[in-house]
């Protein structure tokens, strides 16, 4: 049974403004109030079909349960004839650009105006955030809502505002990918970087190379921690996986375009290619049998950042058939994706097997190449020629710098900002996505309550991301993105948990001006969006509520500090194996841990109520944290 939404929302303007993520460029309070109910009409004052479709979609989402909104012209809005107006500027407003908009809420009308349909879409997303969170509930019927009077002028700081979704490590269905796109579009992201191939699965149908999906899309099913799983056994069936047909991809591309999202496909070569080699082993140096990796250990990483592959997962640069196969791949990829770029990967390719191979030694000598890095550069130049022959531009991870770039190649900087700085100073377009700020697979809370992975990334750290380094001309920085690698992300629900709210921090960084960023304001608005995620039954991490526990040694004694990233909170703890609440010890200063079988327990409170999770950290774990 559907529940009736009956909400009249009278909020101070500041609270309304603080509900918007990313924060608008300009927000002005007025004393007007607009009553939203099923008597409101919609007036689309443009014949642009894309705008009409966007408005229809908005009406369907906002007014459920069979209520049919009236679409009609309203020349003179009044209390008796209230209206939501959508229009395109007859003369473009240069300040708004392609994606900006104005939104005005008055007593009798709400009006969204933009230069382009993309701006109308972004204005609709802001309007949705001004509505009560219950408007997002799937079981709510239309009722009454109050919009506070305001004038908004808004436009993005960067043109590239992206999220990357890895579907190789774990496969997500068409509907799940669409769900991911729909959510990112609500927060004004406009680029989905789709990581379609890797050692763990080939996810895109290539009709001219059927084994890529017949073999490369499937692996044996395994559970447990990625990198520690059991190898496939002889004759064990490969049953886990999946792939996207051409029709699937066309459907997803169209769905994304309706939400102002472009899709960047990635075909990751020459490394990360076990799925290709499982299907076509003759493309490897030794031609030996390979399997699609289910998460077993197949590399060794060293403290200096170098690594060795225990299994050769690279394509053979000296084999002309490799380039013939890639020509077929990129022919079909280019035809499926309208994006001007194709991502060619280029990351983490191990060169040891190349450098020890006779045929590749001959190739290096012939081409005057000194080492494996230059051999990779040779390989990627040939791949780049293939991509450009399909009418596309090349973008790759920052390793593509090692062999030199063609004039219009773009660089995605992931190993910190260094690669992006170098590329920008050479005059190349750059997308900043450094691990330190933008890797959404990293642990976002305390290791006692979150699954540890390679490194940590808190919400506050993600919010401190600044894509334009000092000394770099901003015109070369296209923007940035957050990356969700899915080694430890087996379901779409967990994908949302890992993506949000850190993606909200990245969204604000990429949309709003640098001067507008304010942690206290952002985290307050983020808390309001927790209720929105709850309303549309989507997962979001609330790890920001948890205490932050650090340790150090002073005079041979273990000392603990407990902090919070949230304002207006109190921290309580125990070390006597009891449970903390507001009547136990309140944290005010460093804690000296006594000898004994100690377990530190800590919890965050606000206004007399617990928020977040209680941490329970044994002594040996506290000791391990010293100096970290």
Taking residues 100-121, what's their average pLDDT? Answer: 97
- β-pairing, 430-432 vs 410-413, is parallel
The verdict on 440 and 354 lying in the same domain is: yes
In a domain, 164, yes or no: no
Among the ranges given (46-50, 121-125, 131-135), the one the predictor scored with the smallest mean pLDDT: 131-135
Confidence band (pLDDT; 50, 70, 90) for 324?
very high
Confidence band (pLDDT; 50, 70, 90) for 64?
low
Determine the 3-state secondary structure of 451 from DSSP.
Answer: coil
Confidence band (pLDDT; 50, 70, 90) for 306?
confident
- What residues make up the domain containing 550? 546-624
Confidence band (pLDDT; 50, 70, 90) for 4?
very low
User: What pLDDT shows up at residue 180?
Assistant: 98
* CB distance 96 to 155 below 8 Å: yes
Any idea what the CATH number is for the domain that residue 76 is in?
A: 3.30.379.10
The verdict on 278 and 357 lying in the same domain is: yes
Any idea what the CATH number is for the domain that residue 487 is in?
A: 3.20.20.80
Confidence band (pLDDT; 50, 70, 90) for 14?
very low
- Give the CA dihedral 232, 237, 242, 246, nearest 10 degrees: 120
The verdict on 47 and 108 lying in the same domain is: yes
Confidence band (pLDDT; 50, 70, 90) for 1?
very low
Q: Do you find a cis peptide bond into 251, omega within 30 degrees of 0?
A: no
In a domain, 167, yes or no: no
Q: Which of 493, 515, 535 is the last residue of a domain?
A: 535
In a domain, 204, yes or no: no
User: What pLDDT shows up at residue 290?
Assistant: 94
User: What pLDDT shows up at residue 36?
Assistant: 85
Among the ranges given (93-102, 144-153, 362-371), the one the predictor scored with the smallest mean pLDDT: 144-153
The verdict on 371 and 501 lying in the same domain is: yes
* CB distance 430 to 599 below 8 Å: no
Taking residues 301-315, what's their average pLDDT? Answer: 85
Asked if the model's pLDDT at residue 5 lies above 50, the reply is no
Domain count, the chain: 3
* CB distance 63 to 103 below 8 Å: no
Report the percentage of the chain scoring pLDDT > 70.
95
The verdict on 436 and 297 lying in the same domain is: yes
Question: Rounded distance, CA 451 to CA 149, Å?
Answer: 44
User: What pLDDT shows up at residue 8?
Assistant: 37
User: What pLDDT shows up at residue 461?
Assistant: 98
Distances (CA, A) of 289 to 94, 109, 220, 268: 58, 67, 15, 20
The verdict on 568 and 471 lying in the same domain is: no
User: What pLDDT shows up at residue 183?
Assistant: 97
Largest CA distance in the chain: 84
Distances (CA, A) of 303 to 307, 318, 573, 623: 9, 31, 36, 22
* CB distance 612 to 590 below 8 Å: no
Confidence band (pLDDT; 50, 70, 90) for 210?
very high
Q: Which residues are catalytic?
A: 198, 272, 348
**What is the residue-wise DSSP string for 480-524?**
EEEEE--TT--SHHHHHHHHTTHHHHHHHHHHS-GGG--HHHHHH
Q: Which of 505, 535, 565 is the last residue of a domain?
A: 535
Among the ranges given (211-215, 228-232, 345-349), the one the predictor scored with the smallest mean pLDDT: 228-232
In a domain, 589, yes or no: yes
Question: Rounded distance, CA 325 to CA 204, Å?
Answer: 14
The verdict on 496 and 355 lying in the same domain is: yes
User: What pLDDT shows up at residue 303?
Assistant: 79
The verdict on 560 and 519 lying in the same domain is: no
The verdict on 281 and 393 lying in the same domain is: yes
Beta strands in 330-381 (DSSP E): 341-345
Mean pLDDT value across the chain: 93
User: What pLDDT shows up at residue 364?
Assistant: 97
Residue 347: which of 439, 426, 218 has the closest Cα?
Answer: 439
Q: Which has more confidence, 66 or 437?
A: 437
Confidence band (pLDDT; 50, 70, 90) for 68?
low
In a domain, 375, yes or no: yes
Determine the 3-state secondary structure of 276 from DSSP.
Answer: helix
- Reported pTM: 0.95
User: What pLDDT shows up at residue 140?
Assistant: 59
User: What pLDDT shows up at residue 356?
Assistant: 95
The verdict on 482 and 417 lying in the same domain is: yes
The verdict on 34 and 141 lying in the same domain is: yes
Taking residues 285-302, what's their average pLDDT? Answer: 90
In a domain, 201, yes or no: no
In a domain, 240, yes or no: no
The verdict on 524 and 560 lying in the same domain is: no
Residue 561: which of 587, 596, 528, 534 has the closest Cα?
Answer: 587
Any idea what the CATH number is for the domain that residue 551 is in?
A: 2.60.40
Confidence band (pLDDT; 50, 70, 90) for 611?
very high
Q: Which of 125, 154, 183 is the last residue of a domain?
A: 154
In a domain, 494, yes or no: yes
Please list, in sequence order, all residues whose beta carbon lies within 8 angstroms of the beta carbon of residue 332, skipping any fewer than 6 positions away.
Answer: 204, 205, 206, 207, 208, 246
pLDDT tens digits along 463-474: 999 999 999 999
């Amino acid at each position: 049974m559907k529940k009736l939404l009956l909400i009249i929302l009278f909020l101070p303007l500041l609270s309304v403004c603080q509900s918007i993520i990313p924060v608008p460029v300009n927000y002005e309070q007025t004393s007007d109030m607009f009553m939203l109910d099923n008597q409101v009409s919609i007036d689309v004052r443009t014949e642009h079909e894309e705008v009409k479709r966007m408005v229809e979609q908005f009406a369907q989402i906002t007014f459920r349960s069979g209520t049919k909104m009236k679409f009609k012209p309203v020349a003179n809005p009044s209390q008796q004839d209230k209206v939501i107006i959508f229009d395109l500027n007859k003369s473009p407003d240069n300040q708004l650009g392609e994606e900006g908009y104005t939104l005005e809420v008055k007593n009798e009308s709400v009006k969204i105006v933009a230069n382009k349909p993309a701006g109308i879409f972004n204005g609709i997303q802001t309007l949705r955030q001004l509505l009560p969170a219950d408007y997002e509930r799937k079981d709510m019927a239309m009722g009454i809502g109050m919009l506070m009077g305001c004038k908004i002028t808004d436009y993005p700081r960067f043109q590239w505002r992206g999220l990357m979704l890895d579907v190789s490590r774990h496969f997500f269905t068409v509907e799940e990918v669409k769900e991911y796109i729909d959510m990112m579009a609500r927060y004004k992201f406009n680029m989905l970087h789709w990581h379609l191939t890797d050692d763990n699965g080939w996810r895109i149908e290539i009709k001219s190379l059927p084994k890529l999906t017949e073999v490369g899309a499937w692996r044996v099913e395994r559970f447990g921690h990625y990198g520690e799983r059991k190898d496939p056994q002889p004759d064990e069936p490969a049953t886990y996986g999946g792939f996207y047909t051409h029709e699937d991809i066309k459907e997803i591309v169209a769905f994304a375009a309706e939400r102002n999202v472009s899709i960047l496909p990635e075909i990751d070569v020459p490394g990360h290619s076990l799925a290709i080699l499982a299907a076509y082993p003759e493309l490897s140096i030794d031609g030996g049998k390979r399997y699609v990796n289910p998460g077993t250990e197949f590399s060794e990483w060293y403290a200096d950042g170098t690594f060795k592959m225990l299994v050769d997962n690279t394509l053979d640069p000296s084999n002309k058939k490799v380039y013939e196969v890639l020509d077929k791949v990129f022919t079909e990829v280019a035809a499926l994706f309208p994006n001007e770029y194709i991502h060619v990967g280029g990351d983490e390719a191990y060169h040891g097997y190349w450098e020890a191979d006779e045929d590749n030694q001959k190739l290096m000598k012939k081409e005057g190449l000194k080492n494996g890095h230059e051999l990779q550069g040779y390989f990627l130049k040939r791949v780049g020629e293939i991509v450009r022959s399909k009418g596309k531009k090349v973008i790759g991870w920052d390793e593509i710098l090692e062999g030199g770039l063609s004039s219009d190649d773009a660089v995605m900087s992931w190993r910190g900002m260094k690669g992006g700085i170098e590329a920008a100073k050479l005059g190349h377009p750059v997308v900043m996505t450094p691990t330190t700020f933008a890797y959404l697979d990293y642990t976002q809370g305390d290791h006692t309550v979150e699954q540890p992975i390679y490194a940590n990334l808190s919400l506050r750290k993600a919010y401190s991301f600044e894509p334009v380094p000092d000394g770099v001309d901003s015109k070369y920085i296209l923007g940035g993105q957050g990356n969700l690698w899915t080694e430890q992300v087996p379901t779409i629900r967990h994908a949302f948990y890992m993506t949000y709210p850190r993606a909200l921090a990245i969204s604000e960084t990429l949309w709003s001006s640098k001067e507008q960023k304010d942690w206290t304001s952002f985290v307050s608005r983020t808390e309001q969006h927790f209720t929105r995620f709850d309303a549309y039954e989507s997962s979001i991490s609330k790890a920001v509520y948890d205490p932050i526990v650090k340790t150090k040694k002073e005079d041979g004694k273990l000392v603990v500090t407990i902090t919070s990233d949230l304002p207006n909170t109190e921290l309580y703890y125990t070390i006597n194996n009891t449970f903390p609440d507001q009547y136990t010890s309140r944290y005010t200063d460093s804690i000296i841990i006594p000898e004994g079988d100690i377990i530190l327990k800590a919890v965050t409170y606000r206004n007399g109520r617990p928020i977040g999770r209680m941490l329970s950290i044994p002594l040996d774990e506290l000791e391990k944290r010293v100096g970290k």
